[in-house]
């Protein structure tokens, strides 16, 4: 029987172990996350592992609901000790779930705890972890995991007062204009107050977006991000867009026009464009009203129509197209999307996103990108997380990548010397070069 979460976790051959040895200690570039920059600036401390793990992690909340835990212990008013004990109680039910892996990797790497978390061990682990937490803070966690770069997710109206360099970690904003593109009147008023002029037209809106993007760039922004259900199927001219801004702001063709114009702005300012799609949000209306957004009620939508992705990319001339990263929550047509990246320069598939961030989801993502695109150009892992303990996920990914490449080597399908270099590129060097080239 293998050691529980031992050094050979996921590494099924000597080749895999050698590749992993080459990447395990590389620095971390987290180019998409939802960490609170104010907590980074203030070097926040965590008094309770229940707070660290359960204050805002909708992955864990969803799992607890799946296992019948009362909402009192999820988003309710129970104290963090009680919430932790409930999470520990249901954890053994999560065989094969990424949470089971992440939880035990975090226990080992952050707290030095090697035993399984369950109802019997919960009190003991809770006490030991809290004792260790007395010596930990955001900055010490960053040092522990060698976090070199963090890109938080920020609204165009944010003041970005908390971004900067903290020790060896650069904390940069990400331009996330989802609310701007919703064209909500209340938000447009807020944007108008931020930029200092009225927004009465598409021209005004794009001028405001550019002004805020310039502000972001001055504060270190190198990446944008968009989250939406699906790519638009229709596009319009500038004159038609101006008419729709007055007559029908919900028309998808207006969204398409604005998305294309923002892409051109990103190219102008050297910004990488991330696009997250095929997600339906807040499907449980009653629980959304009770708990709010990002509480575990988002689901996988139907697969993205490849023709609509092609239409979007085709509306941006090669010389005006920024570097683009595509993330689909529905990976049923991942091969078609990966194939598209070969037809438009600078476009890549991203990491296995959200519900796909599993052992088999990552393996599928790697193999499809390898077979239909170019694995050696991939940007590798990110956390997409609100938790400061989630950097153990990079180990999770690096082990799975090393095992995938090690399998190719063992079967005589790939050069062993090249495998470690490719792994270094995917785990660190590719995204680092890209961020440096956008300076």
pLDDT in tens, 45-80: 998 999 999 999 999 999 999 999 999 999 999 999
Contacts of residue 91, Cβ cutoff 8 Å, sequence gap at least 6: 99, 100, 103, 117, 118
Q: Is the pLDDT of residue 308 over 90?
A: yes
Structure confidence at residue 1 as a pLDDT band (50, 70, 90): confident
Report the pLDDT value the prediction gives residue 299, as an integer from 0 to 100: 98
How far apart (Å, rounded) are the C-alpha atoms in residues 367 and 347? 18
Contacts of residue 199, Cβ cutoff 8 Å, sequence gap at least 6: 188, 191, 192, 205, 208
Q: List the structure tokens of 411.
A: 């079967």
pLDDT per residue as tens digits for the range 155-178: 999 999 999 999 999 999 999 999
Contact yes or no for 259/312 (Cβ under 8 A):
yes
Contacts of residue 252, Cβ cutoff 8 Å, sequence gap at least 6: 232, 233, 234
Contacts of residue 337, Cβ cutoff 8 Å, sequence gap at least 6: 304, 306, 309, 326, 328, 349
- Give the strand pairing for 324-328 and 299-300: unpaired
Q: Is the pLDDT of residue 263 over 70?
A: yes
pLDDT per residue as tens digits for the range 320-343: 999 999 999 999 999 999 999 999
pLDDT per residue as tens digits for the range 88-143: 999 999 999 999 999 999 999 999 999 999 999 999 999 999 999 999 999 999 99
How far apart (Å, rounded) are the C-alpha atoms in residues 217 and 403? 38
Query: At the fourth CATH level, which superfamily is domain 46-136?
Result: uronate isomerase, domain 2, chain A (1.10.2020.10)
How far apart (Å, rounded) are the C-alpha atoms in residues 372 and 12? 25
What average pLDDT does the chain have?
Answer: 97
Which of 360, 391, 364 minimizes the C-alpha distance to 375?
364
Q: What are phi and psi of 359, to 5 degrees?
A: -60, -55
Q: Is the pLDDT of residue 438 over 70?
A: no
How far apart (Å, rounded) are the C-alpha atoms in residues 346 and 309? 14
Structure confidence at residue 409 as a pLDDT band (50, 70, 90): very high
Contact yes or no for 399/370 (Cβ under 8 A):
no
Average pLDDT over every residue of 409-429:
97
Structure confidence at residue 410 as a pLDDT band (50, 70, 90): very high
Contacts of residue 255, Cβ cutoff 8 Å, sequence gap at least 6: 181, 228, 232
First to last CA, the chain: 50
Place of tokens 């063992």: 410
State whether CATH 3.20.20.140 applies to domain 14-45+137-437: yes
Q: Is the pLDDT of residue 353 over 90?
A: yes
Would you list the domain boundaries of the chain? 14-45+137-437, 46-136
Q: Is the pLDDT of residue 439 over 60?
A: no
Q: Is the pLDDT of residue 437 over 90?
A: no
Neighbours of 410 (CB within 10 A): 15
Average pLDDT over every residue of 370-394:
97
- Cross-strand bridge partners of residue 326: 275, 349
How far apart (Å, rounded) are the C-alpha atoms in residues 153 and 146? 21
């Amino acid at each position: 029987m293998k050691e529980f979460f031992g050094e050979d976790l996921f590494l099924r051959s000597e080749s895999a172990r050698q590749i992993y040895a080459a990447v395990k200690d590389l620095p971390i570039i987290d180019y998409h996350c939802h960490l609170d920059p104010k907590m980074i600036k203030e070097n926040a401390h965590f008094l309770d592992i229940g707070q660290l793990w359960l204050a805002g992690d909708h992955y864990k909340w969803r799992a607890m609901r799946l296992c019948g835990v009362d909402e009192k212990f999820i988003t309710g008013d129970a104290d963090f000790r009680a919430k932790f004990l409930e999470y520990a109680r249901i954890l053994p039910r999560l065989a094969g779930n990424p949470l089971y892996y992440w939880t035990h990797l975090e226990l080992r790497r952050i707290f030095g705890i090697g035993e399984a978390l369950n109802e019997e061990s919960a009190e003991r682990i809770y006490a030991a972890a809290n004792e260790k937490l007395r010596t930990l803070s955001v900055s010490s966690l960053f040092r522990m995991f060698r976090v070199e770069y963090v890109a938080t997710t920020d609204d165009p109206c944010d003041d970005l007062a908390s971004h900067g360099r903290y020790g060896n970690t650069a904390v940069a904003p990400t331009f996330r204009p989802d609310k701007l593109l919703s064209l909500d009147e209340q938000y447009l008023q807020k944007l108008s107050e931020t930029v200092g002029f009225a927004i009465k037209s598409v021209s005004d809106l794009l001028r405001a977006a550019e002004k805020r993007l310039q502000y972001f760039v001055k504060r270190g922004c190198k990446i944008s991000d968009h989250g939406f259900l699906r790519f638009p199927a229709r596009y319009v001219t500038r004159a038609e867009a101006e008419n729709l801004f007055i007559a029908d702001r919900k028309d998808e063709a207006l969204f398409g026009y604005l998305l294309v114009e923002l892409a051109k702005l990103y190219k102008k300012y050297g910004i990488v464009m991330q696009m997250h799609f095929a997600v339906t949000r807040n499907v449980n209306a009653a629980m959304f009203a009770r708990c709010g957004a990002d509480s575990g009620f988002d689901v996988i939508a139907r697969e993205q129509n490849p023709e609509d992705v092609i239409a979007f990319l085709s509306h941006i001339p090669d010389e005006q197209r920024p570097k683009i990263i595509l993330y689909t929550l529905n990976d049923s047509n991942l091969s078609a999307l990966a194939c598209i990246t070969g037809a438009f320069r600078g476009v890549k598939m991203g990491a296995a996103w959200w519900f796909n961030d599993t052992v088999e989801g990552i393996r599928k993502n790697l193999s499809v990108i390898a077979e239909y695109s170019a694995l050696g150009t991939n940007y590798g892992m990110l956390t997409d997380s609100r938790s400061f303990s989630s950097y153990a996920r990079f180990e999770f990914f690096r082990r799975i990548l090393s095992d995938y490449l090690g399998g190719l080597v063992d079967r005589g399908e790939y050069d062993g010397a090249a495998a470690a270099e490719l792994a270094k590129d995917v785990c660190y060097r590719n995204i680092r070069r890209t961020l440096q080239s956008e300076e």
